[in-house]
Amino acid sequence: QQQVKQSPQSLIVQKGGISIINCAYENTAFDYFPWYQQFPGKGPALLIAIRPDVSEKKEGRFTISFNKSAKQFSLHIMDSQPGDSATYFCAASMDSNYQLIWGAGTKLIIKP
Amino acid sequence: SAVISQKPSRDICQRGTSLTIQCQVDSQVTMMFWYRQQPGQSLTLIATANQGSEATYESGFVIDKFPISRPNLTFSTLTVSNMSPEDSSIYLCSVKDGNGPFFGPGTRLTVL
């Protein structure tokens, strides 16, 4: 019940295309859903986060879509660029304790 | 967001020795976390370190192996004791600062 399942494991997208990464969770007590971007040799960087009171949040080319009834959330990267090539992790937590439950990660490659 | 630095950035150590990793934050934070990330894997929480209290360890991690200090609100150390090659990983410090959590750049440890 504590798991967060992330897919796909890897993704190749052409430059200018839309990258979509999906996550699903079981624990309905989760109320904070961040996405992290990690480049090789670096720590994860918080990209964007959403709470369950909204169905979508957009920051620049990055959008989180949230479906509370399906217990799913996804990251959309519009107009994907080679500089977006990185590993992306979804996570979930209960705000009360801040402990993140992590997805397995998606390695995204944007082809020029 | 908080700016986090870690020392060392990387190290190569011999089996049986110990390494202490330092984490410095540019602002006072209550909650600090230590994570381990094995190559190509997601992140695993080792422990939560709050100032003024004993660190709380996750299942599979023990204080004798990973002693943690948290002397003030801007600094923490993690020691990896009696190292074996299985301890080769990236060790990451993380803080909760309103949003986040946010991560340091990590310490890449190789044990020979």
Interatomic CA distance for residues B8 and A14, integer angstroms? 37
Q: CB of B61 within 8 Å of any CB in chain A? A: no
Q: Is the pLDDT of residue A96 over 60?
A: no
Contacts of B103 in chain A (CB under 8 A): 36, 43-45
What would you report as the CA-atom Rg of chain B, rounded to the nearest whole angstrom?
Answer: 13
Longest CA–CA separation in chain B, Å = 39
Range from A41-45, A72-76, B97-101 that averages highest in pLDDT: A72-76
Which pLDDT belongs to residue B106? 96
Residue pointed to by tokens 């949003």: B99
Half-sphere exposure of A68 (CA within 13 A, CB side): 12
Which pLDDT belongs to residue A97? 59
Q: Would the CB atoms of A44 and B108 count as touching at under 8 Å?
A: no
- The Cα of A88 is separated from the nearest Cα of chain B by a number of Å equal to 10
Which pLDDT belongs to residue A1? 61
Which pLDDT belongs to residue A65? 96
**DSSP per-residue string spanning B41-95:** --EEEEEEEETTS--EEPTT--TTTS-EEEEETTEEEEEE-S--GGG-EEEEEEE
Pairing mode, strands A10-14 and A106-111: parallel
- Which residue from A85, A87, A74 is spatially nearest to A38, judged by alpha carbons? A87
